Amino acid sequence: GIQVEQSPPDLILQEGANSTLRCNFSDSVNNLQWFHQNPWGQLINLFYIPSGTKQNGRLSATTVATERYSLLYISSSQTTDSGVYFCAVFATDKLIFGTGTRLQVFP
Amino acid sequence: DSGVTQTPKHLITATGQRVTLRCSPRSGDLSVYWYQQSLDQGLQFLIQYYNGEERAKGNILERFSAQQFPDLHSELNLSSLELGDSALYFCASSLGQAYNSPLHFGNGTRLTVT
């Protein structure tokens, strides 16, 4: 089956720093979504991004489907950005999640 | 608030018991998905329903079953519970299918089996 790898697995930042999270997938996919799981366990859909670039405030995402990767950019990070970021790809008949990047932002 | 409602929020039960988790999708969404999140397995897809019909199946155990009712709410039934079934169970919904629609998750049901 398709493999979804995220890097880095852990990231520690000071408030105000920028970061880039990467999602690599091993096969062609129909779409890709980014999610944020906050420290309370809630999963929030950040982007539905099968290809191209999207921006939402301090967050932006780029998917290059032909090269099988997606990037999530977080600018001017805040403590509320802490949590785990997952990418998920649709392959065959289901949405498969990566293992996540755990982000900690300190004041 | 995603608009997806899951009940109960927490459930504590004993091994061998049976529980039912309930999910109400966002208004207008036709697809419902169930995922299990445990510490060592990450987010695992269990099953998907679209407009009342099963559409995709993941690593769902035979002890688990689900259905989607005519009003589009869904229930996940877990029986003969084992300690290893302790996990966070998420329901998600989308307007269409997973390949062309963003998923929106409920807050989950935390199941503890003792």
Q: What mean pLDDT do residues A59-84 have?
A: 96
Residue-wise pLDDT tens digits, A10-43: 999 999 999 999 999 998 887 899 999 999 999 9
Tell me the residue type at B100.
N
pLDDT (tens, 9 = 90+) of chain B, 114 residues, equals 889 999 999 999 999 999 999 999 999 999 999 999 998 778 999 999 999 999 999 989 999 999 999 999 999 999 999 999 999 999 999 998 877 889 999 999 999 999
User: Which of B 42-71 lie inside 8 A of A, CB atoms?
Assistant: 42-43, 45, 48, 55-56, 58
- Residue located via tokens 């004041």: A107
The three-state secondary structure class of B41 is coil
Q: Which residues are A83's β-sheet partners?
A: A103
What whole-number distance in Å separates Cα of residue A8 and Cα of residue B47? Answer: 29
**With an 8 Å Cβ cutoff, are A94 and B101 in contact?**
no
**With an 8 Å Cβ cutoff, are B104 and A45 in contact?**
yes
**Cα–Cα–Cα angle for B29, B18, B48, nearest 5°?**
25
What whole-number distance in Å separates Cα of residue A97 and Cα of residue A99? Answer: 7
Q: Do residues B71 and B87 touch, judged by C-beta distance below 8 A?
A: no
**With an 8 Å Cβ cutoff, are A95 and B45 in contact?**
yes
For A42-91, the DSSP string reads -EEEEEE-SSEEEEETTEEEEEEGGGTEEEEEE-S--GGG-EEEEEEEEE
Residue B30 forms contact with A (CB below 8 Å): no
